[in-house]
Structure 1
Amino acid sequence: MQAAFEPTDQQKDEAALWHTRRAGGSLSAAQEDEFENWLNSDRNNRLAFDQMRVLWAQIEDPARRLSTNRPKMSLSRFRSWSPSHRSFAAMAGMAAIVGGIFFLQPDIIGNIQADIVTDHTTVTPIELPDGSVVQLAANSALATDFANGHRDVELLRGQAFFDVVHRNGDPFRVHTGDATIRVVGTRFNVDYLSHQTIVVVEDGAVRVSSNRDADGVLLGPGQQVAVRGDALATSKIEDVNLALTWMKGRLSVRNMRVADLMTRLENYSDGKIVVVGKIAGRSISGSFPTTDIAGSLETVADAIGASVVKTSPWLTVIY
Structure 2
Amino acid sequence: MTREEQAIDWHVRQRDMSVAEWDAFATWLEDSPENARAYDAVAMADAALTAPTTGAEPLTVEMPVAANDNRGWGRWWLMGGVAAAVALMAGPVLLHSRPDIRIEQTRAGETRVIALNDGTQVELAGGSRLRLDRNDTRVATLESGQALFRVRHDASAPFELRSGDVSIRDVGTVFNVRREGARLDVTVAEGAIALAPQGQEMQQLSAGQGVRLDEARGSVRRVRVDPAMVGGWRRGFLDLDGDTVDAIAARLQSAYGMRVAVEGPLAKRSVTGLVRMTGDAGQDVPRLAKLIGAEWRQSGGDWILRASDGVH
The TM-score with structure 2 as length reference comes to 0.58
* Residue 225 in structure 1 maps to residue 224 in structure 2: no
* In structure 2, C-alpha distance between the alignment counterparts of 1:283 and 1:176, rounded to whole Å: 25
Task: Give 1:295 shift.
Answer: 2.0
Q: Which residue of 2 aligns with 1:134?
A: 122
Contact 2:130 2:144 in 1 (8 A): yes
Q: Which residue of 2 aligns with 1:187?
A: 174
Q: Which residue of 1 aligns with 2:294?
A: 306
CA RMSD of aligned residues (A): 2.6
Task: Give 1:226 shift.
Answer: 1.5
Match 2:233 to one of 246, 251, 255: 246
* In structure 2, C-alpha distance between the alignment counterparts of 1:214 and 1:170, rounded to whole Å: 26
Which amino acid is the alignment partner of residue 220 of structure 1?
S
Deviations 1:25-82 (A, max 9, x none): xxxxxxxxxxxxxxxxxxxxxxxxxxxxxxxxxxxxxxxxxxxxxxxxxxxxxxxxxx
Which amino acid is the alignment partner of residue 203 of structure 1?
E
Cα 1:132/1:232, change in 2 over 3 Å: farther
The TM-score with structure 1 as length reference comes to 0.57
* In structure 2, C-alpha distance between the alignment counterparts of 1:244 and 1:216, rounded to whole Å: 25
* In structure 1, C-alpha distance between the alignment counterparts of 2:149 and 2:235, rounded to whole Å: 15
Q: Which residue of 2 aligns with 1:144?
A: 132
Identity level (%): 27
Cα 1:238/1:144, change in 2 over 3 Å: closer
Spell out the pairing of 1:100-249 with structure 2 (5 A cutoff): 115-147=103-135, 149=136, 151-193=138-180, 195-208=182-195, 217-229=203-215, 231-249=218-236
The secondary structure found in structure 2 opposite 1:139 is coil
The secondary structure found in structure 2 opposite 1:169 is coil
Cα 1:305/1:136, change in 2 over 3 Å: same
Instruction: Kindly indicate whether structure 1 or structure 2 has the higher relative contact order, using CA contacts under 8 Å at least 6 residues apart.
Output: 2
* In structure 1, C-alpha distance between the alignment counterparts of 2:201 and 2:153, rounded to whole Å: 22
Q: Which residue of 2 aligns with 1:262?
A: 249
Which amino acid is the alignment partner of residue 227 of structure 1?
L
* In structure 2, C-alpha distance between the alignment counterparts of 1:219 and 1:163, rounded to whole Å: 17
Task: Give 1:216 shift.
Answer: 5.8
Contact 1:223 1:234 in 2 (8 A): no
Contact 2:194 2:202 in 1 (8 A): yes
Structure holding more helix per residue = 1
* In structure 2, C-alpha distance between the alignment counterparts of 1:202 and 1:286, rounded to whole Å: 17
Q: Which residue of 1 aligns with 2:284?
A: 296
Q: Unaligned stretches of 5+ in structure 2?
A: 1-100, 307-312
* In structure 2, C-alpha distance between the alignment counterparts of 1:114 and 1:312, rounded to whole Å: 36
* In structure 2, C-alpha distance between the alignment counterparts of 1:229 and 1:167, rounded to whole Å: 30
Q: Unaligned stretches of 5+ in structure 1?
A: 1-112
Cα 1:227/1:146, change in 2 over 3 Å: farther
Contact 2:118 2:137 in 1 (8 A): no
